[in-house]
């Protein structure tokens, strides 16, 4: 899943890849619209509205945690030249540390398309299986936040964002720049979650990724030399 990683730092990318990402973004948008309509139709009581609200919040929190999980793994394991995964998954994160502003020069398709592609199986599964109000709400919030994660991350590195974005950042509804700046200080070993950053208090406070890292290293997973 490509959720929440900095978009690849190459220029516009091959035309075929952009066409694929544009198609994925369109399909994800349609799938999300279908799920939202289904969710709204099911909310016919206060009880249903409460379940939907909890599910949406849980999906937003889950997206933040998964963004941190993917980010932590790609920062701490493998190398850019590792076969297959190196170029696809590891390099964009390492390039982001070398040049944090590069992603601010990417267009929306580069920022969103790859994550939309990763979300398609999840959206399709939710649409196919969905007879659960909670699952629909969870999927809508998780997929939306995961697709938007690179956009939220890029805003956190942009100095001249709109007033609306400043309001969202100020209320911590999207990743605030000062919060994310802590990841870029020192050795990149904290504040991995980057959709809203809400889960960093939990993952850093409880040492979740530190413990996982110790376990994976003990199992022989090749850690980064950086």
Residues lying near Zn ion in the complex (CB under 5 A) are found at 75, 188
Q: How far is the CB of 61 from Zn ion (least distance, A)?
A: 20
Q: Report helix, strand or coil for 56.
A: helix
Rounded CA-CA distance 57/108 in Å is 25
Closer by beta carbon to Zn ion, 139 or else 150: 150
150 beta partners: none
CA–CA–CA angle 141, 144, 145 (5° rounding): 80
Which CB sits closer to Zn ion, 75 or 213? 75
Nearest residue to 101 via CA among 153, 165, 140: 153
The smaller minimum CB distance to Zn ion, of residues 42 and 96, is found at 96
Is 42 or 153 the residue whose CB approaches Zn ion more closely? 153
Give the orientation angle of helix 163-170 with respect to helix 133-156, to 10 degrees.
Answer: 110
Q: Which position has the token pair 């009581």? A: 45
Q: Which is nearer to Zn ion, 142 or 155 (CB)?
A: 155
- Using DSSP's 3-state secondary structure scheme, residue 193 falls into coil
**Least distance (Å) from Zn ion to the CB of residue 169?**
14
CA-CA-CA-CA dihedral for 202, 156, 25, 34, to nearest 10: 50
Residue 139: count of CB within 10 angstroms of its CB:
27
Least separation in angstroms between residue 77's CB and Zn ion is 12
Q: Which residues make Cβ contacts (< 8 Å) with residue 123, sequence separation at least 6?
A: 28, 31, 32, 35, 139, 143
Are 51 and 134 in contact by the 8 Å Cβ rule? The answer is yes
Nearer to Zn ion, 38 or 182 (CB): 182
Nearer to Zn ion, 120 or 165 (CB): 165
* Residue whose CB is nearest to Zn ion in the complex, by number: 75
């Amino acid at each position: 899943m490509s959720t929440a990683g900095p978009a690849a730092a190459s220029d516009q990318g091959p035309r075929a890849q952009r066409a694929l990402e544009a198609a994925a973004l369109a399909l994800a948008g349609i799938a999300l619209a279908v799920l939202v309509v289904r969710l709204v139709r099911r909310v016919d009581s206060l009880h249903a509205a409460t379940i939907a609200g909890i599910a949406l919040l849980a999906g937003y929190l889950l997206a933040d945690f998964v963004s941190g999980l993917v980010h932590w793994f790609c920062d701490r394991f493998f190398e850019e030249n590792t076969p297959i995964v190196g170029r696809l998954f590891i390099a964009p994160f390492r390039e982001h540390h070398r040049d944090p502003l590069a992603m601010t020069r990417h267009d929306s398709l580069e920022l969103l398309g790859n994550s939309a592609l990763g979300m398609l199986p999840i959206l399709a599964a939710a649409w196919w299986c969905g007879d659960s109000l909670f699952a629909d709400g969870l999927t809508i919030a998780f997929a939306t936040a995961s697709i938007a994660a690179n956009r939220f991350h890029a805003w956190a590195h942009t100095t001249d964002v709109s007033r609306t974005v400043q309001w969202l950042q100020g209320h911590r509804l999207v990743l605030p720049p000062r919060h994310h700046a802590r990841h870029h200080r020192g050795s990149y070993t904290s504040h991995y979650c980057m959709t809203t950053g809400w889960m960093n208090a939990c993952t850093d406070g409880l040492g979740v990724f530190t413990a996982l890292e110790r376990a994976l290293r003990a199992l022989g997973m090749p850690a980064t030399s950086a």
